Each structure stands twice: as structure tokens, then as C-alpha cells.
Structure 1
Amino acid sequence: MGGGRRVLAVVGVLAVALSGCAAEFSGRAANGHAAGRAEEDGSIPDNGSIALSEVGHAAIRKLDPDLLAAVRKAAEDARAAGVELRVTSGWRSKPYQQRLLDDAVTRYGSLAEARRLVSTPETSKHVVGQAIDIGPTDAADWLVRNGAEYGLCQTYANEMWHFELSTTPGGQCPVPRSDASG
């Protein structure tokens, strides 16, 4: 197996392991919320994902229009290939982002470890609607392999589900940063 394939295989295995963490953070933060609360802060329901067609949900409605258009086009093409892209996180309010970070600090025991997976409200691209998390794993994998065609790139090597508009459609994606801490 070549070096590039080995890296992708390792990233894929890591992503499968970590995708449960991201869904757990989203689900835990949404637990106990009234239906309107998720509308306010971008929390995803307990089932862990929503469809791109749920335009009334703040996680979708408050995304950057260019990002949303690119993801919708990618979703059409993925669907034609037999893959359904689901949104596991989109736009988030600052308080919701802070809850995710606080949960990660509790889970991992330190802010430094938590920051590898969760950005602060001041630095999170989710808070400004410029990032989207895609699931399930086969959908994220499809987008890792095909996203540059739409300008969508995996931002962090340890989060195969996290995408941002990081190139022009058909361009080359930058090498993902190791994690969200830097």
C-alpha cells in the first residue's frame, strides 16, 4: 500500500472511531432541549443528523449560502452514486459551541485535549456558518474523495466529517491541518 493510501486508511479508521464522539457531543448537547431550542442554537436532534432539505432548521438555514449551495450540489451527485449525505452539524450558536467544548473538556480531562476536536466559539467556523459536518461515514468518505469538485475540503485530518469551502470548484484542496487546536 502506498504512503498516500496508508494515510487515508489510517484517517478512515480514526474517523470511524471519532465520528461517534462528534455525534455524542451533538446528541448530548441537544438532549432535553425543546424543539425550538434546537432551532435557536443549531443543535441536531438525538438521532444524530438531519437532511439538507430541512431548511427551517437553524443548522441549515444559517449556513453560508455558498457553502450550502456547494454541499447541495455534492449531495445530488452523491445520491446519484448511491450515497446519502446527512448533516451531523452545521451552523452553531456561540453558547452551543461552548457547551460542546465544555463537554469535551469533561470527557478528555483538559482543554488542550478537548481543543483537538472542538474549537472555541471565537474560532469555530461552525459559529459563522462556514463549516458543515457530514455523515454517515460512507458519505463523509465520498465527500473526502470528491469534495474538491465542489470546492469542499476536509479541514482537519482527525475529522473526516468536517468540511469547509477551501478551494474553487475543481481546484485542489489544501492538506488538512492535524486537528482543530491550531
Structure 2
Amino acid sequence: MAASAAAAAELRSILRAQTSKESQNRWRRWSSELMHGTRLSVPLLTLLWQEVINFDPILAEHITSPTAVPDRAVIVAGSGKETFKTFNVSTAASLLAASAGVPVVKGVSQSVSAVSGAADVLKTLGIPIEDDPATVGPAVERDGIGFVSYAAFCPAYAGQYDGVFHVLSPLSFFMPVAVLAVAASRFLYGLAHRNVALVC
């Protein structure tokens, strides 16, 4: 338990540090140590999630009062970090589900680990991305799918996290789906890691 508390304290310090190349390297070292050890567990991930919520007051508000979306809506997210070097599976799954009549909320970001991220592709195609959680429900109602920037729900956290990791990190086990504070009835989350039971 002491090791988990120490990992959470280190994350707290990292989140509050001035963003710099050194702070990003510190993020990566911290992540690598946890990913290559045997310390990942539900209690540890719970502590890390609480640190993220404590750090970002806007995320904390959204978690307390999630955005309403149409009934039967599904949140679709993925964190492959290019493990298999294929394509953006979660975006393809979102489009397929929406075309079959399932209301979908899909979080998007710019490329971190791939040639292009979902936000890059959507921007090129001229497809709007919601930057305000209040517009997500109406977008899903109108179009059957709402693409939303993750940073809309967690601007402080996204400012520290986005673009830092090109491989899976401990936070990948609950991010990005956890920051989509939407009152959906279910979610589909793909993680390219053998320990998917930990995600569940």
C-alpha cells in the first residue's frame, strides 16, 4: 500500500509541475516504472484516478454532473497507442455502430502515437468536433454520433497529458474513456494490452 501511495504522490507532483521537456520525461519515467513492474492493480489505478480528479476541477464537476445524451448511447474509446500499427479502430467502430443506428459518443484527440489522430482525420473531412460538453447530447440527437474533444471535459489534465505518451501508460487503463463524463448507458473501450481484465 505504501508503494501505491508513493506512486500517487509522484503523480500529484508531476501534474502540478510546470510543463517542460524535463517534466514530460519525468512523466515517462514514472509511467515506465509502473508499466514494467508488477504493481498495477485496481487500488493503485483508483488512487491515480483520484489524483487526476483532484488536479482538474472542471473534470471533477463533470464527473459529479455528467452530460446527458440520448437513451441507448454508447461511449466508444480506445487506447492502443499504436501497439499493433494498424489503424484507428475506435473511430471505425464508432462509425460502424452509428451507421447501424446506435447513438455514439466518441472522444477524439490529435495524433499522439500514430500518423494521424481521429481529430486530425475529422478536421480534414470537415466534420465538426464538439468542444463544449453541453453540445454533445444535441449532436448525438441530431447526427447519431457526437465527436468530442477529450480536453472539453478535462482541460487542465489534458494540458499536462496530451502528446506526452507514445506507448501505453498506467493511465491508459482508464483513460481516455474515464474523462468522457457522459451519462451513457454503456461503453466500449479497446485497450491493446494483455491485461484487459484490469480495465474491466
Does the TM-score normalized on the shorter chain lie above 0.5?
A: no
Larger Cα Rg: Structure 1 or Structure 2?
2
TM-score, normalised on structure 2?
Answer: 0.23
Relative contact order, higher structure (CA 8 A, sep 6+) = 2
